[in-house]
Structure 1
Amino acid sequence: MNRFDNQTVLVTGGTGGQGSSHVRAFHAEGANVVIGDIDAERGAALADELGTRVRFTHLDVTDESSWSASVQAAESAFGALNVLVNNAGVQNPPAPIENTDQATWSRILDINLTGTFLGLKVAAPALRRAAGGTIVNIASTMSLGGTAHYAPYVASKWAVRGLTRTAALELGRDHIRVNTIHPGVIATPFIQEPAAGATMAIADFYSPDPFAIPRLGEPTDVTRLLLFLTSSDASFITGSEYVIDGGLLLGPALQTETA
């Protein structure tokens, strides 16, 4: 028996580098998967690729009515919603705070923070109707410290941490667990390609050479942790934060010579 047989999972940003990895893994583990994304072409293609037990729903995470329609689509197609992965997110073009325009600030917070808030708000009643479930909010190692030139992104992800803890307190008695994952530098277009309006990507600022594990992370590294946190194996875990960064936050590893 697969870990997610007879369960329905909604993954936002489900066509991206990490999102599509999550979608494929949940599906392989037996889940009904709802791909939520604004990219209809890629979403439909991924749903067609996987075939059975998959639906694509157009989801603008900044729009509460879009959230309601996506959750309703999951329940209509599969009977219940059991897992929400708040994965959708965007980064800002790197710039000092004094050179960051308010429109950029608002856009990043609308998607990364308000999108997560609305997901919690709309999905909670559905998970309650299913007699419980789990939510994982994808944050970032940038939510555990400051990062120059990424103020909107950093602020949004710091706020997701507090939102997650509050939701865990509010929903725990309803058998709904809420946790965060904090990926470091993961080898996806989100990290390796410049944001709109930028000339440098996040990966350009980070070399994995000093990491304790000297490589970039892979989407599957995050996916394996996500599958654990949303499974029954993690039934006593809520309000917790899981860092997966190869030791990025530990500081530089001691370089030693080998014989």
Structure 2
Amino acid sequence: MGRLDGKVAVITGGASGIGLGTVELFVAEGAKVVAADIQDEKGAMLETRFPGVVRYAHCDVTKEAEIAAAIGLAVSEFGGLDILFNNAGISDGMREIPAIEAETWSWIYDVLVRGPALGMKHAVPAMLARGGGSIVNTASIAGLQAGFGPIAYSSAKAAVIHMSRVAAAQLSPQGIRVNAICPGLIATSIFGASLGLPRAVADQMAARVAENAAKVQPTHKAGVPDDIAQAALFLASDAAAFVTGTHIVVDGGITVGPRHAWDQSGPSPFAEMFGEALASSPPA
């Protein structure tokens, strides 16, 4: 028996990366899924892999009509909606404040904040018709601490975390739970895409991320899409019936503290400071 038997889910960004991993896991756990994405060829392949279980919806989350259509497809094809995973994401190269471009800033927020907000807007009526549901929003550790992403991306992900909390306060009394996941360094194409690389090249770059990720975090394994999919499965399932308005950090421990907290060979500014002080102190 699957943990999502009888459930219907919509997953944005469902044709690759974290979204694809979540589609595969949700199907294995008994759900029927609408994979919403802009990668039509990959979406068609998903329908072929999972006939009668996965439907693909072309969905640019900056376009409200396409979000509404994806939700509508879940209702018309599978009879309703129980789970929404707002996962579609992008990044950018605006790391320095003087380099901010207004149009790029707006685009980042349209995809990462406005998209999930509109997803919730259109999902809520369908979920209420089923007696409730679960909404999961992909945030990021970049929304928790500085240094893990460009400025627009990071501040947008911080907005997603707080938006999830506010939405949970409003929707939980109606039986709809809302939570966020904060991934760490996960081997997907988003890193290459943030550098402006073509999609095919960005996909290949994910392998390089996987090769090097384990070196920069306490958990010596690369983060992979299934790590986030497993967290999404928990939040989507009845196992998380008492969990709402929070965020789960899935990052291999990279945010537990500075490197010297978990790597004894790493430089500690305190050790250096006190070491210098002791070295310069006169003998007793």
Q: TM-score, normalised by structure 2?
A: 0.84
In the aligned structure 2, how far is the partner of 1:27 from the partner of 1:208? 29
Q: Which residue of 2 aligns with 1:224?
A: 230
SS of 1:248's partner is coil
Q: Is the 8 A contact 1:140 1:181 kept in 2?
A: yes
In the aligned structure 1, how far is the partner of 2:20 from the partner of 2:160? 22
Q: Which residue of 2 aligns with 1:3?
A: 3
1:207 deviates by 5.2
* Superposition map of 1:239-250 within 5 A: 239-250=245-256
For 1:64, give the aligned amino acid.
E
Q: Which residue of 2 aligns with 1:120?
A: 120
For 1:255, give the aligned amino acid.
Q
In the aligned structure 2, how far is the partner of 1:114 from the partner of 1:50? 30
In the aligned structure 2, how far is the partner of 1:53 from the partner of 1:207? 34
Does residue 69 of the first structure (1) align with residue 75 of the second (2)?
no
1:208 deviates by 3.6
In the aligned structure 2, how far is the partner of 1:52 from the partner of 1:93? 40
In the aligned structure 1, how far is the partner of 2:193 from the partner of 2:237? 34
For 2:241, give the aligned amino acid.
S
1:94 deviates by 4.5
CA 35–210 in structure 1, closer or farther in 2 if over 3 Å, else same: closer
Q: Which residue of 1 aligns with 2:272?
A: none
Give structure 1 stretches of 5+ with no counterpart.
none
1:128 deviates by 0.7
In the aligned structure 2, how far is the partner of 1:152 from the partner of 1:158? 10
Moved more, 55-64 or 206-215: 206-215
> Which of residues 213, 234, 238 is equivalent to 2:240?
234
Q: Is the 8 A contact 1:35 1:57 kept in 2?
A: yes
**Higher helix fraction: Structure 1 or Structure 2?**
2
Q: Which residue of 2 aligns with 1:48?
A: 48
For 2:196, give the aligned amino acid.
G
Q: TM-score, normalised by structure 1?
A: 0.92
CA RMSD of aligned residues (A): 2.1
Q: Which residue of 1 aligns with 2:277?
A: none
In the aligned structure 2, how far is the partner of 1:10 from the partner of 1:198? 28
Q: Which residue of 2 aligns with 1:155?
A: 155
Q: Is the 8 A contact 1:84 1:123 kept in 2?
A: yes
1:196 deviates by 5.0
1:58 deviates by 1.1
Does residue 254 of the first structure (1) align with residue 263 of the second (2)?
yes
In the aligned structure 1, how far is the partner of 2:149 from the partner of 2:29? 39
CA 148–174 in structure 1, closer or farther in 2 if over 3 Å, else same: closer
In the aligned structure 1, how far is the partner of 2:43 from the partner of 2:245? 30
1:45 deviates by 1.1
4+ residue runs over 4 A deviation: 198-204
Q: Which residue of 2 aligns with 1:197?
A: 196
**Could you list the per-position Cα deviations for residues 196-228 of structure 1 after superposition, in whole angstroms to 9, with x for gaps in the alignment?**
536998959x85424211232111111111111
In the aligned structure 1, how far is the partner of 2:69 from the partner of 2:104? 27
CA 243–160 in structure 1, closer or farther in 2 if over 3 Å, else same: same
1:100 deviates by 2.1
SS of 1:215's partner is coil
In the aligned structure 2, how far is the partner of 1:115 from the partner of 1:98? 26
* Superposition map of 1:6-25 within 5 A: 6-25=6-25
Q: Is the 8 A contact 1:116 1:137 kept in 2?
A: yes
For 1:120, give the aligned amino acid.
M
CA 216–180 in structure 1, closer or farther in 2 if over 3 Å, else same: same
For 1:221, give the aligned amino acid.
D
CA 232–207 in structure 1, closer or farther in 2 if over 3 Å, else same: closer
For 2:264, give the aligned amino acid.
Q
For 1:223, give the aligned amino acid.
A
In the aligned structure 2, how far is the partner of 1:47 from the partner of 1:173? 35
Identity rate of aligned residues, in percent? 38
1:52 deviates by 2.5
